[in-house]
Amino acid sequence: MLSLVLILIASLFFTGIIIRTKSISSGRKGPGIFQPVKDVWRLFKKGSVYSETTSFVFQIAPVVYFSSVVMAILVVPFGSTKGIISFDGDFIFFAYVLALGKFFSIISAMDTGSSFEGMGASREALYSMFAEPAFFILMGSFALLTGHTSFFEIFSTLHLGSYITYALGIMATFVLVMIAMIENSRMPIDDPKTHLELTMVHEVMILDNSGFDLGLILSTGYLKFAMYGTLIANLYIGELSLIYAIPAFFFIQIAFAVSVGIIESFMARYRISHNPQFIFALSSVSLLIFLGVLLVLGKFV
Amino acid sequence: MIGFTTLENSGFLFNIYIGILLAGLIGIFVVSEKLKPYLSALVVLLVSLITSLIAIQGINSNGLEFLIPGGSFIGDIPFRIDALSAWFMLIINLTMITGVFYGIGYLRAYKPIKSIITLHWILLVLFQSSMLWVCMVQNSIAFLIAWEIMSLSSLFLVLFDHADSKVIKAGINYMVQMHLSVVFLTVAFIWVYFETGTFDFKGIDIYFGSNANLWLFVVFFLGFGLKAGFMGLHSWLPHAHPAAPSHVSGIMSGVIVKMGIYGIFRVITFLKADFILLGEIVLTFSVLTGLFGIMNAAVQSDFKKMLAYCTIENIGIIGIGIGVGLIGLGKDQNVLIFLGFGGALLHVLNHSLFKSLLFYSAGSVYQQTHTRDMNQLGGLIKKMPQTALLFLIGALAIGGIPPFNGFISEFLIYSGLLAGIHSVDIAQTTLMVVSVAGMSIIGGISVFAFTKTFGTIFLGSARTELHQEPREVSKIMLFPQYLIVLVMLSVAFFSGYFLNVILTILNGSFHVSMEVGNVDYLRYSSVLQHISLYSFLFLAGIGLIYFIRKSITKNRESTYQSTWGCGYVAPTSRMQYTGKSFTKPLSKLFNFVLIEKKNFNELKSNEIFPVSRKYSSSYLDFWEHWLINPATKYLDLFIDLFKFIQNGRIQAYVLYGIIFILIVFIGTVFHSSLQ
What pLDDT does B113 receive? 62
Q: Which of B418, B526, B564 comes nearest A208 by C-beta?
A: B564
Does residue B480 contact residue B99 with C-beta atoms inside 8 Å?
yes
Among candidate residues B539, B387, B411, B547, the one with its CA nearest the CA of residue B472: B387
Q: Which of A87, A144, A299 comes nearest B527 by C-beta?
A: A87
∠ Cα B443 B449 B452 (to 5°): 140
Average pLDDT over residues A218-232: 91
What pLDDT does B500 receive? 86
pLDDT tens per residue across span A140-183: 998 888 888 888 888 887 766 666 777 888 889 999 988 988 88
What pLDDT does A162 receive? 63
Q: Which of A87, A210, A217, A273 to mutate to test the interface with B (most CBs of B within 10 A)?
A: A87
Phi/psi of residue A78, nearest 5 degrees: -130, 105
Which residues of B fall within a CB distance of 8 Å from A48?
553, 556, 558-559
CA–CA distance from B494 to each of A68, B93, B409, B536, B579 (Å)?
22, 21, 13, 11, 36
Sign, CA torsion B372/B376/B378/B383? negative
Which residues of A fall within a CB distance of 8 Å from B577?
110, 114-115, 117-119, 121-122
Q: Which of A56, A103, A290 comes nearest B396 by C-beta?
A: A103
Say if A300 falls within a structural domain: no
| Cis amide bond preceding A188, omega within 30 | yes
What pLDDT does A70 receive? 93
What pLDDT does B9 receive? 61
Shortest CA gap A29–chain B (Å): 32
Sign, CA torsion A165/A168/A173/A174? positive
Q: How far apart are CA A259 and CA B106, in angstroms?
A: 59
Q: How far apart are CA B435 and CA B410, in angstroms?
A: 13
CB pairs A-B closer than 8 Å: 245
Distance of CA B456 to the CA centre of its chain: 24
Q: How far apart are CA B547 and CA A280, in angstroms?
A: 40
Say if A301 falls within a structural domain: no
pLDDT tens per residue across span B166-177: 899 999 999 999
Q: Which of A46, A52, A286 comes nearest B562 by C-beta?
A: A52
**Polymer length in residues for chain B:** 675
Give exposure, A94-121, as e/b (b: 16+ Cβ within 10 Å).
bbbbbbbbbbbbbbbbbbbbbbbbbbbb
Q: How far apart are CA B126 and CA B359, in angstroms?
A: 21
What pLDDT does B263 receive? 94
Q: How far apart are CA B139 and CA B143, in angstroms?
A: 6
Give exposure, A122-133, as e/b (b: 16+ Cβ within 10 Å).
bbbbbbbbbbbb
Which residue of chain B has the CA closest to A214? B549
Looking at the structure of chain A, the number of domains it has is 1
SS3 B380: helix
Which residues of B fall within a CB distance of 8 Å from A93?
402, 407, 411, 531, 534
A92: which residues sit within 8 A by CB, 6+ positions away? Answer: B411, B414, B415
Which residue of chain A has the CA closest to B453? A107
What pLDDT does B2 receive? 39
Strand partners, B616: B599
Q: Which of A53, A89, A121 comes nearest B527 by C-beta?
A: A89
Q: Write the ipTM.
A: 0.94
Inter-chain touch B443–A87, beta carbons under 8 Å: no
Say if A171 falls within a structural domain: yes
Which residue of chain A has the CA closest to B382? A55
Q: Which of B287, B405, B546, B577 to mutate to test the interface with A (most CBs of A within 10 A)?
A: B577
Q: How far apart are CA A212 and CA A47, in angstroms?
A: 7
Does residue B414 contact residue B439 with C-beta atoms inside 8 Å?
yes
DSSP strand pairing (B558-561 vs A48-51): parallel
Among candidate residues A122, A103, A118, A100, the one with its CA nearest the CA of residue A53: A118
Which residues of A fall within a CB distance of 8 Å from B448?
125-126, 129
Which residues of A fall within a CB distance of 8 Å from B526?
87
Which residues of B fall within a CB distance of 8 Å from A62?
549
Q: Which of A51, A60, A106 comes nearest B561 by C-beta?
A: A51
Distance of CA B549 to the CA centre of its chain: 41
**Would you state the torsion angle of the CA atoms of residues A277, A282, A287, A290, taken in this order, to the nearest 10 degrees?**
-170
What pLDDT does B21 receive? 87
SS3 B560: strand
CA–CA distance from A223 to each of A10, B178, B298, B540 (Å)?
8, 53, 31, 20
Shortest CA gap A21–chain B (Å): 31
| Structural domain range at position A72 | 2-295
CA–CA distance from B137 to each of B70, B85, B199 (Å)?
11, 10, 11
Extract the runs of DSSP E, i.e. beta strands, from B299-426: none
Q: Which of A55, A286, A300 comes nearest B459 by C-beta?
A: A55
Shortest CA gap A14–chain B (Å): 24
Helix-helix angle A115-146:A90-111, to 10 degrees: 180
Enclosing H/E stretch for B553: helix B519-553
What pLDDT does B1 receive? 37
Largest alpha-carbon pair distance within chain B?
105
Other beta carbons less than 10 A from residue B499's beta carbon: 20
Q: Which of A99, A115, A144 comes nearest B399 by C-beta?
A: A99
Enclosing H/E stretch for B354: helix B334-369
What pLDDT does B542 receive? 93
Helix-helix angle B475-493:B495-509, to 10 degrees: 80
Inter-chain touch B407–A115, beta carbons under 8 Å: no
Which residue of chain B has the CA closest to A143? B418
What pLDDT does B111 receive? 67
Residues of chain B with pLDDT under 50: 1-5
Which residues of B fall within a CB distance of 8 Å from A113?
378-379, 459-461, 563, 573, 576
More confident: B572 or A49 = A49
SS3 B446: helix
Inter-chain touch A47–B583, beta carbons under 8 Å: no
What pLDDT does B675 receive? 66
Q: How far apart are CA A225 and CA A259, in angstroms?
A: 13
Inter-chain touch A122–B582, beta carbons under 8 Å: yes
Task: Choose the weakest-confidence range: A46-60, A102-116, B140-154, B501-515.
Answer: B501-515
What pLDDT does A223 receive? 93
